[in-house]
Structure 1
Amino acid sequence: MVDLSGVEFWYWWVFALFLLAVEVFAPGAIALWMGISAGIVGGLLYIFPDLLWEKQIIIFAVLSVVSVAVWRIYARKHPPATDNPNLNKRGSDLVGYSFTLTANLKNGMGRETINGVLWKIKGRDLPEGTKVSITSVEGTALIVEPEEA
């Protein structure tokens, strides 16, 4: 069995630096908070050199779980600001766009080329030549409604 009673504070600091390096190469904020937790445990061990290794592990585990959980809650409530909120939501830019159907919309389904891209469209059955407007996006399909004359 490995004897962990000889763990010194700098072991935790080296582990913290390792976790921070992992965060640099594989960002995701989990290794960051675990690294900070390891640094805190190292600081506690520096201040209290008689801290049992079992308590060190428990403190590290609790700090890691709590800090990652708090970070995830914070990140969900405060998403990063962006100048292009529709990035990776291709159809979102087309909401409100009007066009004329070049083929019948049968059984609520059809295909239409819009800005050089072939899109699946959904809506009620409509004949070719009907002027429609895109009202929303459902997955990869554009939802259309006929425009009022």
Structure 2
Amino acid sequence: MVIFEHLGPWAWFVLGGVLLVAEIAVPGAFLLWLGIAALATGILAYTVDLGWQSEVLAFAALAVAAVLVGRKVSPAPGHASDRPFLNRRAEGFVGRVFTLESPIQGGIGRVHIDDTVWRIEGPDLAAGTDVTVVAIDGAVLKVAPAPPPAA
């Protein structure tokens, strides 16, 4: 604990900085709260003259408090997103119906969806036919003829 005696409050600032940088290198949102607790301990030690033992106890209490606050403000694991297909855009097309602008020939074609042209695979169909996306294979949409609209 000699480092705390020589550096004083700056040891806590250095520890807080190291923990925050470590959070960037190894993300998991756990070291963030310990880093914040170390910085808070540094501020406390800078404003109030404490012995190193009291500083360590203050850090322990602040670390527990920071982790508890962090658990409150962080989303729960497995929490449903409001945008579940954000990084899996093609999966959001399964079940949707699109109209072919060009025919499917030899089992391969293309369909324009929003601002992107997607490669599709399915039975040979004429342009203007409605197709339903039934599956995805990487960046290829598997399609089938859409059922006729209900009368």
**So what's the TM-score if we normalise by structure 1?**
0.51
- Partners of 1:121 and 1:144 within 8 A in 2: yes
Equivalent residue, structure 1, for 2:16:
17
Equivalent residue, structure 1, for 2:125:
127
Q: CA deviation at 1:133?
A: 0.4
- Partners of 2:23 and 2:31 within 8 A in 1: no
Q: 1:141 and 2:147 equivalent?
A: no
What SS class does the counterpart of residue 82 from structure 2 fall into? coil
**Structure 2 stretches lacking a partner, 5+ long:** 43-50, 56-70
Equivalent residue, structure 1, for 2:3:
7
Equivalent residue, structure 2, for 1:92:
91
**Structure 1 stretches lacking a partner, 5+ long:** 50-70
- Partners of 1:15 and 1:35 within 8 A in 2: no
- Partners of 1:19 and 1:32 within 8 A in 2: no
Q: Matches of 2:52 and 2:119 in 1, distance apart?
A: 63
Q: Matches of 1:19 and 1:94 in 2, distance apart?
A: 44
- Partners of 1:91 and 1:137 within 8 A in 2: yes
Q: CA deviation at 1:38?
A: 6.4
Equivalent residue, structure 1, for 2:53:
47
Q: CA deviation at 1:117?
A: 2.6
Q: CA deviation at 1:121?
A: 1.1
Deviations 1:6-64 (A, max 9, x none): 3227454222332465489999436516637968xx9xx93399xxxxxxxxxxxxxxx
Q: Matches of 1:121 and 1:146 in 2, distance apart?
A: 12
Q: Matches of 2:32 and 2:23 in 1, distance apart?
A: 9
Corresponding residue pairs, total: 119
Equivalent residue, structure 2, for 1:103:
103
